[in-house]
């Protein structure tokens, strides 16, 4: 049997002992160390192995250490876990040893025993501390020795935060810190708790030599832009990157490994995020009854989170998918507080039922997020796309106006601008319906509903977007599929998108179209490379044939464009929010839209997809389908 197997068996046996059994075992080991310390201290003092000449010596050597055990116990030494022994344990042992030594000294004064000059007690005290402390560190080493499966970590930042982070990771079952990195030349080459501080310029060599798999950035006081610079410098390496929270978050509680967040692709967006205007967030929500259509979808779910944070009187979740609605309800149940959440399964095309729901729950504000939005699927299911995206929107706004809803917010898309696909065309058609309503001279009553249209690009992690697809492909080992090396998209986080939707809706009046500033566009090819590298893998290509994951180009899909537009241009007007703009798109009259709606109804009934596209060519400005079949 190998030594490794014996140590593993001993470790398993010790771990399986009860807490009381472990305490007795540790006390017995301390007793042996105390006896050994006494004998060794006498031997050193006499310059020869100590051999007792009287029985009383044996009593002293073997019985007096028993006195130390109650001292250890009373100071709480046996309440600490052996595998987590630290400086605190050594401190307790030192105090206990001083008390124990003093007891020895009193014993020699009281009991008439002639022994080597009692200055040997000084040696005994030192050895007791070393032996009792040493056996704990030996036990700790044996119990946590297996680190072959631990993730080897470099900490970026040889500062107080980096040291604090190192202490937090010290007992982690997942990570092993192997060194520090810093930009300060005065620190480089020095050591922190036995770990060397390296220069950032040596990262290539260090990562390879130390077999580093993760880098933790411990710069909580640095600006977000500086953190992004560091991330951009590190993302070229095949390591996982994590970031320590900012100093305000740390101040709220003790730092733990769980506080370290993995760098997400959202951290690399080339856009500046602005704090929301609270009064705009609250205007249509606080104390109001709010309903979300498509509440089980990506945008609907995040809207629900943001709405709950602003304390509505009631939140109604409406969706056609039972499973999506169930998931949304479960996810919100822990954060709803005192706000009642009502879940309703239903179809947005059923106007009569919508009116009853709006009336029953006294709805004030509606966010219409229900839609079919996956471009290739809608391209293959044109009838369904038209029914949901156009007639579903018409049904919802008609019910809202009849029930005197205060605010109706329509979630649109950048794909509605000069669309090349059915999904974008249906969204632009729906926008025009909402814009034209205020130009209906035949309305029986004044419209009391404020209508807002919010147009934005891709939301990171939303269903149908590339991010969850890339994550899945990375998990399975690749390849990552990108349609074209030059394809670009605008991205924003779900939280920011939802906050901007709510704020834009609060500013809307008569079918206003709001554009959200999405920042700079992102190359999907670069996004794919970033996701591979941030997962700790390397890109396999001509320059790196031994890489982990390949990127394959599959060609543009039906209806897909190389780039999307939001039309934030010289014609767009600014608003009270710096990231929200007001579009000045041309509108049609309700009479015109009504004629086109009647044509669409006939085309749907006849399932005439060619006619539907022809109608879009007449109604939707800039519509250029890839095919008219």
The string of pLDDT tens digits covering residues 251-274 is 444 444 444 555 555 555 555 566
For tokens 């009647």, the residue is 598
pLDDT at 251: 44
pLDDT in tens, 611-628: 999 999 999 988 888 655
With the C-alpha atoms ordered 72, 73, 76, 80, is the resulting torsion angle positive or negative?
positive
Give the three-class secondary structure for 193.
coil
CA–CA dist 178, 180 (Å, integer)? 7
Supply the mean pLDDT for the chain.
80
b/e burial code for range 322-333 (CB count within 10 A of at least 16 → b): eebbeebbeebe
Give the three-class secondary structure for 141.
helix
pLDDT at 560: 73
Q: Report the range of poorest mean pLDDT among 458-462, 527-531, 574-578.
A: 458-462
**Is pTM beyond 0.75 here?**
no
Helix spans in 403-465 (H): 422-436
Chain mean position to CA 267:
10
**Strands of 259-345, DSSP E:** 261-262, 289-293, 314-319, 341-345
pLDDT at 248: 45
Residue with the bigger pLDDT between 192 and 53: it is: 192
Query: Domains plus CATH for the chain?
Result: 3-143 (no CATH), 151-263 (3.40.50.720), 278-619 (3.40.50.720)
DSSP state of 90: H
pLDDT at 541: 84
Residue with the bigger pLDDT between 124 and 430: it is: 430
Residue percentage of the chain with pLDDT more than 90: 28
Calculate helix-pair angle for 55-74, 19-46, nearest 10 degrees: 130
pLDDT in tens, 440-489: 654 555 788 999 999 887 777 666 677 778 888 888 888 889 988 888 88
pLDDT in tens, 59-105: 667 777 777 778 777 776 666 555 545 556 677 778 877 887 787 77
Q: Report the range of poorest mean pLDDT among 9-13, 320-324, 346-350, 524-528.
A: 9-13
Q: Using CB atoms within 10 A of its CB, is residue 282 exposed (0-12), middle (13-18) or buried (19+)?
A: middle
pLDDT in tens, 44-54: 776 777 766 66
pLDDT at 433: 94
> Is 402's pLDDT higher than 60?
yes
With the C-alpha atoms ordered 621, 625, 628, 629, is the resulting torsion angle positive or negative?
negative
CA–CA dist 138, 169 (Å, integer)? 20
> Among candidates 579, 438, 437, which has minimal Cα distance to 504?
579
Encoded tokens for 614: 């022809």
pLDDT at 149: 64
Q: Are 432 and 463 in contact (CB under 8 A)?
A: no
Residue with the bigger pLDDT between 16 and 302: it is: 302
């Amino acid at each position: 049997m190998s030594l490794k197997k014996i140590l593993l068996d001993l470790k398993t046996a010790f771990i399986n002992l009860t807490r009381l059994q472990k305490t007795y075992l540790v006390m017995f080991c301390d007793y042996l160390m105390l006896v050994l310390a006494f004998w060794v201290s006498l031997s050193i003092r006499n310059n020869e192995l100590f051999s007792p000449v009287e029985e009383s010596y044996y009593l002293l050597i073997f019985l007096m250490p028993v006195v130390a055990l109650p001292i250890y116990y009373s100071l709480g030494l046996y309440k600490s876990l052996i595998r987590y022994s630290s400086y605190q344990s050594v401190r307790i042992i030192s105090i206990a040893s001083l008390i124990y030594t003093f007891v020895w000294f009193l014993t020699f004064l009281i009991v008439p025993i002639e022994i080597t000059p009692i200055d040997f007690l000084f040696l005994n005290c030192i050895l007791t501390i070393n032996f009792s402390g040493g056996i704990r560190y030996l036990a700790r080493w044996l119990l946590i020795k297996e680190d072959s499966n631990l993730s080897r970590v470099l900490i970026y930042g040889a500062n107080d935060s980096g040291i604090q982070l190192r202490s937090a990771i010290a007992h982690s079952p997942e990570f092993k810190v192997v060194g520090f990195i810093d930009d300060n030349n005065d620190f480089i080459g020095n050591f922190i708790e036995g770990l060397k501080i390296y220069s950032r310029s040596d990262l290539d060599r260090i990562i390879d030599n130390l077999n580093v798999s993760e880098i933790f950035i411990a710069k909580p006081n640095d600006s977000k832009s500086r953190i992004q610079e560091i991330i951009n410098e590190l993302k070229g390496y095949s390591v996982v990157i994590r970031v320590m929270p900012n100093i305000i978050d740390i101040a709220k509680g003790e730092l733990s490994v769980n506080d370290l967040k993995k760098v997400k692709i959202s951290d690399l967006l080339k856009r500046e995020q602005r704090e929301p205007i609270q009064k705009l967030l609250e205007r249509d929500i606080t104390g109001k009854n709010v309903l979300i259509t498509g509440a089980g979808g990506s945008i609907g779910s995040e809207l629900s989170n943001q709405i709950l944070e602003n304390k509505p009187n009631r939140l109604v979740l409406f969706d056609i998918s039972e499973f999506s609605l169930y998931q949304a309800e479960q996810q919100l149940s822990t954060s709803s507080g005192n706000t009642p959440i009502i879940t309703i399964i239903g179809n947005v095309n059923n106007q009569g039922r919508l009116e009853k729901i709006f009336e029953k729950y006294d709805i004030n504000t509606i966010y219409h997020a229900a839609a079919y939005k996956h471009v290739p699927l809608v391209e293959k299911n044109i009838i369904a796309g038209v029914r949901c995206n156009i007639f579903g929107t018409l049904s919802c706004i008609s019910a809202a106006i009849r029930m005197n809803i205060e605010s109706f917010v329509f979630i649109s898309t950048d794909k509605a601008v000069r669309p090349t696909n059915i999904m974008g065309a249906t969204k632009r058609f729906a926008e025009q319906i909402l814009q034209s309503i205020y130009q209906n001279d035949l309305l029986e009553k004044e419209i009391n509903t404020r209508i807002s249209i919010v147009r934005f690009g891709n939301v990171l992690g939303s269903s149908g977007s590339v991010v969850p697809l890339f994550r899945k492909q990375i998990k399975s080992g690749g390849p990552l599929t990108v349609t074209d090396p030059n394809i670009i998209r605008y991205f924003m986080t779900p939280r920011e998108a939802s906050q901007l939707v709510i704020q834009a809706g609060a500013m809307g009046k008569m079918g206003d179209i709001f554009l959200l500033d999405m920042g700079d566009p992102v190359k999907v090819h670069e996004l794919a490379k970033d996701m591979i590298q941030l997962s700790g893998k390397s890109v396999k290509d001509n320059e790196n044939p031994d890489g982990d994951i390949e990127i394959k180009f599959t060609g543009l899909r039906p209806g897909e464009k190389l780039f999307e537009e939001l039309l934030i241009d010289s014609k767009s007007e600014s608003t009270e929010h710096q990231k929200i703009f007001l579009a000045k798109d041309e509108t049609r009259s309700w009479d015109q839209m009504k004629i086109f709606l009647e044509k669409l109804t006939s085309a749907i009934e006849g399932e005439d997809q060619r006619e539907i596209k022809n109608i879009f060519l007449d109604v939707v400005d800039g519509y250029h389908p890839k095919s008219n079949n």
